[in-house]
Structure 1
Amino acid sequence: MSACVIGHITVKDAEKWAQYRAQVPATLAPWGAELLFRGQLADILDGRHAHTDTVVIRFPDRAAVDGWHGSAAYQALIPLRQQAADLDLLTFSDQ
């Protein structure tokens, strides 16, 4: 069963965000992850949404998500990410 990580993002520092984004793909590769979508909010059709950007990354399974997120490579990027953006990071898996 595949799993997806969805990030809802509000960029605070564009330069630091670009640095973070440039380093993330190398942390994903060992876990078989694929970037499916990265984009900016076009419209809110219903309800509320606090963030301006979204990213969707597909992993082979939930274990790969947990391995990636807990990896030393990704953990090393979290301080930069926190300086660069406010982020809600969610995991969803097939049922």
Structure 2
Amino acid sequence: MAAFLLGQVNIKNQELWQQYVEGVGESLAPYEAKVLLRGQWHKQLAGSSQFEQSVVIEFSSTEQLEHWYNSPTYQSLVPLRDRAAEVNISSYSN
């Protein structure tokens, strides 16, 4: 069953954010994950949102998603992420 990570983002420091994004790309490789969407907020159609950008990443399973998230490689990026942006991360499965 596929699993999806949804990240909602407000960037505080563009240079640090770019470093983080590059690190995430490298960290995803062993998990065969695919970035399906990385985009700028356009228009709120219903409800409300406080975030300017979103990312959706597909994994083969919730186990793979959680292995990636808890991996030493990704966890080493968390301090950089937290300096670079305000981020909300959720996981979903279908």
Shift of 1:53: 0.1
Distance 1:4 1:93 in 2: 6
What's the C-alpha RMSD, in Å, of the aligned pairs? 0.5
Rounded to whole Å, the distance in 2 between the matches of 1:46 and 1:2 is: 26
> What's 1:14 paired with?
14
Q: Name the SS of the counterpart of 1:42 in structure 2.
A: coil
Structure 1 runs (4+) greater than 6 angstroms displaced: none
How do 1:23-34 and structure 2 match up within 5 A? 23-34=23-34
Give me the whole-angstrom Cα distance separating, in 1, the residues matched to 2:84 and 2:72.
19
Partner of 1:48: 48
Letter in 2 for 1:84: A
TM-score (normalised: structure 1): 0.97
Offset of residue 22 of structure 1:
1.1
How many angstroms does 1:18 deviate by?
0.7
Aligned-partner SS, 1:82: helix
Deviation at 1:66, TM superposition (A): 0.6
Query: Aligned pair count?
Result: 94
Q: Once the two structures are aligned, what percentage of the paired residues are identical? A: 36
- Alpha-carbon deviation of 1:31? 1.0
What's the offset of the Cα at 1:45? Answer: 1.1
The aligned residue for residue 65 of structure 1 is 65
